[in-house]
Amino acid sequence: MDYISTRDTNLQAAKFTDILMSGLAPDGGLYLPAEYPDVSEDLASLRETLNTKGYAALVAEILKLYIDDIPHEDLEAIAERAYTAEAFGSEEIVSVDKFDERLYLGHISEGPTAAFKDMAMQLLGELFEYELTRRGAKLNILGATSGDTGSSAEYAMRGRDNINVFMLTPAGRMTPFQQAQMYSLDEENIYNIAIDGTFDDCQDIVKAVHGDAAFKAEYSIGAVNSINFARILAQVAYYFALYFRTVEDNETEISFAVPTGNFGNAYAGIVARLMGLPIDQIIIANNENDGLDKFFNTGYFHTKGLGGAQKTSSPSMDIVKPSNFERFIYDLLDGEPGRVADIFGEQLKEGGFNLSEDTKMLDIIPEFGIASGSSTHADRINQIRRAHEELDTLIDPHTADGVKVARDWLENIDTEIIVLETALPVKFSETITEAIGSFPATPVRFAGIEDGERHVVDMDNNAEDVKRFISEHAAEKEN
């Protein structure tokens, strides 16, 4: 399998381990596989793998379809190390429960940091460790987080001798629990940087640093955000697992409602559908930062005049410029890299783009199966309260966004819907308390997490300052 850039297919095709280590393509584009494998005739075999060998074995089978420069037996061992009952609380790793009439909850947030990001980060940590050891190399990871990616990455990478993590966070825009998960870590290879800005500002800095080819090469800068296609691959696997654990045959279609900010979780579902998994609709759920919902309804995506992402009670979705949207637009436009480069390299900087008159927009539903909707704070409170009082289930604010939008679509969709549970309620005490009047006891594994010392550096919204910080501390580790 070769990988190409969304912005220039004339670049030399790359192999998986190269894109794993580099994150962004040299031209600023995102890497994609040259083609998506069709597994529609192999669903029975993949189901049997999950049922008889477990989740890690299913992940390995998905990885083998996309990776030809790591031996298959090594991929199996990597997956086994990443997905353990110790890390995820059960042998199942992911599970699904009936939630309400025609609605299910897909539990993908039982990992070390109580967020679905663990599903990819635990695998990414093992892949990095494997390839860096094989190359005798070190990596300085630069990432950005709107709430959950950072802690998932840091817990997956902490203590690894050949990896440093520099994680940018939007100052004051995460919940106290989310901040504590990251800032309480006192590891020599973990550096938390609070940026005076939004998540989009943090993400722009990450892309700017990756765009400095000389700096990136000198300091071996890598990526853990979902600009790294390895993250998407890991997430594709749980769509298959949730489907197999909900549907008894391999033909019945089902839909997924996906709370999304950076579009990685949703894009993984689109990939699974393109591979032949019988998915009817991927239902995109936005919060008040609803640019994706507006695009899928109008063909117009804009950021001009928004002044950055609005701060909401589902903070991990407070994103205006979702990175993985570029991959989708590449697919939508049938791989027109010139147009993609113009749209994301030029038009987006000027405030947005308009595809409403592009005939390919008509193919969004039949080809990609996408529906969308948005949710407000009042909606989240209502759904959390309703789930607690009527269904005896506690859901977090992001999952509540997904439930709200899923309910909105029930009359227009014939299938049952799996709502992806993207985090556990323990991370959002203020909103949960507002919804149900109290907050359940904190699980033992998280007890006292908000009381510890904080390890974080405040910094202006400036890519040069971040580069200077990386160069100083990467040099310190070398010495």
Domain boundaries, the chain: 95-113+229-436
Q: Per-residue pLDDT averaged across 87-109, rounded? A: 96
State the pLDDT at residue 324: 95
State the pLDDT at residue 286: 98
pLDDT at 265 > cutoff 50: yes
State the pLDDT at residue 479: 46
pLDDT at 380 > cutoff 90: yes
When comparing pLDDT for 363 and 62, which is higher? 62
Judge whether 117 counts as a catalytic residue. Answer: yes
State the pLDDT at residue 226: 83
- Catalytic hit among 117, 216, 404, 467: 117
When comparing pLDDT for 447 and 119, which is higher? 119
* SS3 sequence of the chain: CCEEECCCCCCCCECHHHHHHHCECCCCCEEEECCCCCCCCCHHHHHHHHHHHCHHHHHHHHHHHHCCCCCHHHHHHHHHHHCCHHHHCCCCCCEEEEEECCEEEEECCCCCCCECCHHHHHHHHHHHHHHHHHHCCCEEEEEECCCCHHHHHHHHHCCCCCEEEEEEEECCCCCHHHHHHHHCCCCCCEEEEEECCCHHHHHHHHHHHHHCHHHHHHCCEECCCCCCHHHHHHHHHHHHHHHHHHCCCCCCCEEEEEECCCCHHHHHHHHHHHCCCCEEEEEEEECCCCHHHHHHHHCEEECCCCCCCCCCCCHHHCCCCCCCHHHHHHHHCCCCHHHHHHHHHHHCCCCEEECCCCHHHHHHHHHHCEEEEECCHHHHHHHHHHHHHHHCCCCCHHHHHHHHHHHHHHHHCCCCEEEEECECHHHCHHHHHHHHCCCCCCCHHHCCHHHCCCCCEEECCCHHHHHHHHHHHHHHHHC
pLDDT tens-digit profile of 278-337?
999 999 999 999 999 999 999 999 886 666 789 999 998 999 999 999 999 999 998 887
Q: Tell me the pLDDT of the chain averaged across its residues.
A: 93
pLDDT tens-digit profile of 99-140?
999 999 999 999 999 999 999 999 999 999 999 999 999 999
State the pLDDT at residue 305: 64
* Domain 95-113+229-436 of CATH type 3.40.50.1100: yes
Q: Per-residue pLDDT averaged across 44-66, rounded? A: 98
pLDDT tens-digit profile of 403-438?
999 999 999 999 999 999 999 998 898 999 999 999
pLDDT at 477 > cutoff 60: no
